[in-house]
Structure 1
Amino acid sequence: MTTQYIGRFAPSPSGPLHFGSLVAALGSYLQAKSQQGQWLVRIEDLDPPREIVGASDLIIETLENYGFEWDGEIVYQSQRHDLYQSQIDQWIKQCNAYFCQCTRKQIKADGGFYLGRCKHKQLSEENASVRLVMQHPIESFSDIKHGTIQIPSQLAQEDFIIKRRDGLFAYNLAVVLDDIEQGITEVVRGADLIEPTGRQISLYRQLGKKEVSYLHLPLAVDDSGNKLSKQNYAPAIDNADPKPTLLAALQFLGFSLPKDIETATLNEIFQWAIKNWQLKQLPTGLEITTPFSKPAI
């Protein structure tokens, strides 16, 4: 019996969607729909200090305006704290996680890697983060497009944070627990998230679950080589006239567009793209310069 493909797009509401976000959404959508799979949307609102009021609704509105159609209800990580805390409590009880009071300054002084100073101190949770005891270090993994990706040994061996000192849940923990519960079979996302992939695979193994497969899409960067991101003030994509930006994103993903596609509807464009989607068309590099890095003048 073949497992149905389930993919997802999981933006954080720290601002409106930019061109790099659109590329990630489009690549994950086409990969799912070309295999008659499901495509889910999850809002990763884990970090309130970085979130912009109204950004979640704006992201959903933008996806709708661009012609995306998702399956099922949208999931919000802010409503799933009990799930994350329950898993942390279980690991602490099993001595598979512990409280840590080390500061970034201390870790930097140790060479930039956490050396396990708090592992055996049995500290209280006051003013402490929670770290997972690393039992399944991942020093390489296979990416569908890029092949074997190596991870530095010291990074792979680290006991990494699963709950921050400020009480916020760590991205790696939340994303894996959510992907497991939602039945995600493959993660398609930007190449900026290659580094945490090893930690996420280690979490699957810690939980006794089969990890998903991974496909990392080229990262959209500006003329200076900086990735398009909300932190770098990447401009929002045009919500009123989506077709030119959608076509540009298809070209970014390696499509050769037919001459008459500019007269097609958004739905016709998506149907054409789903039919013609091939992984071999994706650019081989991890970064591509895009003109969508500056606001229109």
Structure 2
Amino acid sequence: MPPVFRFAPSPNGLLHLGHAYSALLNFERARETGGRLLLRIEDIDMTRCRPEYEAAIYEDLAWLGISWETPARRQSEHLADYRAALDKLSALGLVYPAFESRAEIAKLVAAREVNGPWPRDPDGAPLYPGEAKSLSAGERKRLVESGAPYALRLDMAAACRRVARLTWGELGEGPAGEHGTVAAQPEAWGDVILARKETPTSYHLSVVVDDALQGVSEVVRGRDLFHATAVHRLLQVLLGLPEPVYRHHVLICDETGRKLSKSSRATGLRELRAAGVTPGGIRQLVGLGQVSLGVSQRLP
């Protein structure tokens, strides 16, 4: 079977040089290996994702010379797939509703940090500090039926007790030079959110479901998602999904060393294109073909 790759942008803004680098790497890997390249539109955030941004993704990728199999998978059209996975985890007793707002969670963290630093996940966000797991089934039911907003969280401790030692195969390089067989530590993320009242999925849940359903065999993505792979490996094992190999690439950063964002107009593909930069010029700007996946890249 030929290897399967995917580029999976969110249509919540215009693409920039960082997106171009990741898309081109996936495209080149597919060509080098005789594999297939898929395009996935990760549009589960109904408040920020817009049709005009999705249309711009297609246009910008085509301008770069990237081709992919059609049709693209749009996550908003497959919510039932994520609901089925969530139901499976719920049946294992690994999911619970938490009702605190973001502001309430911030207050809980502040209160706990009176006695010292509260633990944080690899992205720097505080671990969930609430007591929702201790609520009775009746109280949870009452709160849900009252219409209170909630997030469905993974009981990380219970989930980790169900699996043996987790690892993944890394073809790229992690932030600390990790390569080869990497030990996964999902417990570092605490009780991650799997869905919310208004959306039956989250990034963590949908990405593993999509990769499995689409037969993705090699995940080529930015190093900022390196540590999140631990959560994805845990969910893959719990749900009985196949394990792809991973290739985390360096991030394209601005002159200050910060990761590019969609608000960075100076590095947006539309702005660069309007300024006369060619697709070949984009390749030069990101250093494609001049550096390996493990070398840091910064715009001049």
> Structure 2 length normalisation: TM-score?
0.77
Does the 8 Å contact 2:12/2:48 carry over to 1?
yes
> Structure 1 length normalisation: TM-score?
0.78
Question: What runs of 5+ residues in structure 1 fail to find an aligned partner?
Answer: 257-280, 292-297
Three-state SS of the structure 2 residue aligned to 1:227 is: coil
In the other structure, the counterpart of 2:176 is none
Question: What runs of 5+ residues in structure 2 fail to find an aligned partner?
Answer: 113-117, 119-125, 174-178
Q: CA RMSD in A?
A: 2.6
1:178 aligns with 2:210: yes
| Amino acid in the other structure paired with 2:188 | L
- Partner Cα separation in structure 2 for residue 229 and residue 143 of structure 1: 25
Does the 8 Å contact 2:100/2:130 carry over to 1?
no
Q: Give identity over the alignment, percent.
A: 29
In the other structure, the counterpart of 2:281 is 245
Does the 8 Å contact 2:38/2:69 carry over to 1?
yes
Q: CA deviation at 1:208?
A: 1.4
Q: Structure 1 228/128 Cα, relative in aligned 2: closer, same or farther at 3 Å?
A: same
Q: How many residues align?
A: 261
- Partner Cα separation in structure 1 for residue 134 and residue 233 of structure 2: 25
1:132 is aligned, of 154, 167, 177, to 154
| Amino acid in the other structure paired with 1:288 | Q
- Partner Cα separation in structure 1 for residue 281 and residue 195 of structure 2: 37
1:20 is aligned, of 18, 30, 33, to 18
1:143 aligns with 2:137: no
- Partner Cα separation in structure 1 for residue 298 and residue 235 of structure 2: 33
| Amino acid in the other structure paired with 2:109 | K
Q: Structure 1 152/132 Cα, relative in aligned 2: closer, same or farther at 3 Å?
A: closer
In the other structure, the counterpart of 2:260 is 228
In the other structure, the counterpart of 1:289 is 298
2:99 is aligned, of 86, 98, 101, to 101
Q: Structure 1 131/153 Cα, relative in aligned 2: closer, same or farther at 3 Å?
A: closer
Three-state SS of the structure 2 residue aligned to 1:198 is: helix
Q: CA deviation at 1:85?
A: 1.8
1:199 is aligned, of 218, 222, 231, to 231
Three-state SS of the structure 2 residue aligned to 1:49 is: coil
Q: Structure 1 247/235 Cα, relative in aligned 2: closer, same or farther at 3 Å?
A: closer
Q: CA deviation at 1:52?
A: 4.0
- Partner Cα separation in structure 1 for residue 225 and residue 201 of structure 2: 18
In the other structure, the counterpart of 1:90 is 88
Does the 8 Å contact 2:79/2:200 carry over to 1?
no
Q: Map Cα deviations across residues 214-263 of structure 1 (whole Å, 9 max, x no partner).
A: 111110111112111214555321446533433315x623x24xxxxxxx
